[in-house]
Amino acid sequence: MRLIGLLRKTLVENLRDWKILIMTLTFAPFFTALMYFYFESAGQEPHQVVVINHDEGTTAADGRSLNAGQDLISQMMSARRADGTHVLQVLSDGNPVAARERVANGTVDLVVEIPRQFSYILQQHRRREATGPVPVSTYGDPANPQYLAAAAWCDAIVYLFAATEADVPSPVEIDMQTVTGAASPSDFDLYVPGLLALAVIMLMFTAAASLIKEKDKGTLVRLRISNMTTFEWLAAVTLTQIVLGVLAVALTLETAIVLGYEPSGSLIAMVLVCVLSSLAIVAVSVAVAAWLRTIFDLMTIGSFPFFILMFFSGGMFPLPQIRVFEIAGRTVNVNDVLPTTHSIVAFDKILNRGAGLRELTFEMAAIVALSAAFFVIGTWLFTKRHMQGTGRWSAAVQ
């Protein structure tokens, strides 16, 4: 009964601090929508390519006129992504110097120059009368993030077009297979697991606030002399934050689904990973709250561990793999000490690869082990800094 009373008290206090609660529940869904519109606008924009066609054309074996350079430009203009959007926006320019200046000032991503003998050499290859390559030149700026993608698309189109026109069969046939057999996920799909982890990380503010307020408002003194144990207090805070964590993840995932995301995998596994991840964040929050004294400290100094969890868990951008050791055939890296690293991997396996509980054994074990470690360290620090001198509380944690 005492635990139920503490649980009700903790939940009501979280509702009273509605500003922190709203921030916790809506930050990740807002960020999800922001990332979706960013990738949506980036994905719809075609690469700007200037094609300089010097091809003089030739006569095909059947007597018709042939300009392979113009046909290649048509192929570039018709290239589309899986969603139907154009890959390249092809611009014509007869001045190579002016075209390269446009690359230098960033108005175009790539310049492609088709040689004068393009059609002739391809026809010579078709007749098996030529052995030399067809020199197609490209010019771009490596500092432009769109350059490599534009060059890759143009290279692939040129290779396929030339092989077809020269009637040269490819010596290699690529047999593409995937892990799940599904289509390749979009950039937004790959970010969703990290965004779900972000929803859980936001619990650090509400969890730490629940601990700090008791000391900041002086109620910790009355709690010290009551019959409540440390375990009961932390259990009430933890259960409340787990409820908020599941709600925050559900709101974030629903936002992604509304924006077109199609999840897969086990719902039970999803909920279990969410609960364990929320438990881990509460454990981290106990350690964070041990070093803070006021809510102001939480919103300022507490932002530092928040950004460590957010950016060094591997959810926002790829991190270098700094190997520490290997266990059971798995490499353990430096950032694996953060439980959210394993949460992101687990969310990705469930949502993007259709994994179930059996495939998540390592990640869930890591989250539980790290949660226990952070709870032990955090409880010891919080007791030492804020609860010393009270026999009842000291005995409860021994």
- Where would I find the H helices in the chain? 2-16, 18-44, 68-78, 96-104, 118-126, 147-165, 187-201, 203-216, 219-224, 230-258, 267-290, 295-300, 303-311, 339-353, 361-386, 391-396
Identify the pLDDT of residue 394: 42
* Residue finishing a domain among 136, 165, 194: 165
Strand partners, 88: 47
Could you tell me how far CA 52 lies from the centroid of its own chain? 38
> Within this chain, do residues 225 and 317 fall inside the same structural domain, yes or no?
yes
Both 384 and 244 in a single domain?
yes
Residue 57 in domain: yes
Q: What are the tens digits of pLDDT across the range 184-233?
A: 677 788 899 999 999 999 999 998 888 887 766 656 555 555 666 667 77
Last residue of a domain, one of 115, 131, 165: 165
Nearest C-alpha neighbor of 133 from the set 158, 152, 154? 158
Residue 129 within a domain: yes
Residue 77 has a pLDDT of 92
Give exposure, 309-333, as e/b (b: 16+ Cβ within 10 Å): bbebbbbbeeeeeeeeeeeeeeeeb
| Residues 226 and 306 grouped into a single domain | yes
Contact 368, 308 (CB under 8 A): no
pLDDT, mean of each 10-residue run, the chain (398 residues): 71 79 90 86 79 86 81 91 82 85 90 91 82 85 88 91 82 66 72 94 90 69 61 83 94 94 90 96 92 84 89 81 78 89 94 89 94 92 69 42
Pairing of strands 47-53, 110-114: parallel
Q: Residue 236: inside a domain, yes or no?
A: yes
The tokens for 301 are 């100094």
In-domain check, residue 177: no
The CATH number assigned to the domain holding 135 equals 3.40.1710
In the DSSP assignment, the letter for residue 302 is: T
Spatial strand order in the sheet of 88-92: 88-92, 47-53, 110-114, 137-140
pLDDT of residue 176: 63
Indicate whether 29 and 140 sit together in one domain. Answer: no
What is the pTM (predicted TM-score) of this model? Answer: 0.73
Integer Rg of the chain from CA: 30
Q: What is the pLDDT of residues 45-72, one digit of tens each?
A: 789 999 999 988 887 766 778 888 899 9
Q: Does some domain include residue 273? A: yes
Helix (H, G, I), strand (E, B) or coil at 53: strand
Per-residue pLDDT tens over the stretch 339-356: 999 999 999 999 988 888
392 shares a domain with 340:
yes
Do residues 202 and 135 both lie within one domain? no
Domain count, the chain: 2
Is residue 173 situated within a structural domain? no
Sign of the Cα torsion 313, 319, 320, 326 reads: positive
Query: CA–CA distance from 377 to each of 176, 286, 371, 383, 392 (Å)?
Result: 48, 9, 10, 10, 20
**Same domain assignment for residues 265 and 328:** yes
Say yes or no: 228 and 140 in one domain.
Answer: no
In this prediction, residue 301 carries a pLDDT of 87
Q: Answer yes or no: do 57 and 74 share one domain.
A: yes
> Domain for residue 288, yes or no?
yes
Per-residue pLDDT at 224? 59
> Among the three residues 111, 131, 165, which one is the final residue of a domain in this structure?
165
Q: Does 235 share its domain with 372?
A: yes
Dihedral sign, Cα of residue 21, residue 25, residue 30, residue 31: positive
Task: Report yes or no: 242 and 56 within 8 Å, Cβ to Cβ.
Answer: no
Let me know if residue 116 belongs to a domain: yes
- pLDDT of 386 reads 67
C-alpha dihedral (310, 312, 314, 316), degrees to nearest 10 = 50
The CA distance from 179 to 296, in Å, is: 47
Do 370 and 288 share a structural domain?
yes
Pair 87, 46: CB distance under 8 Å: yes
Q: Which domain holds residue 343?
A: 2-38+183-396
Q: Are residues 315 and 225 in the same domain?
A: yes
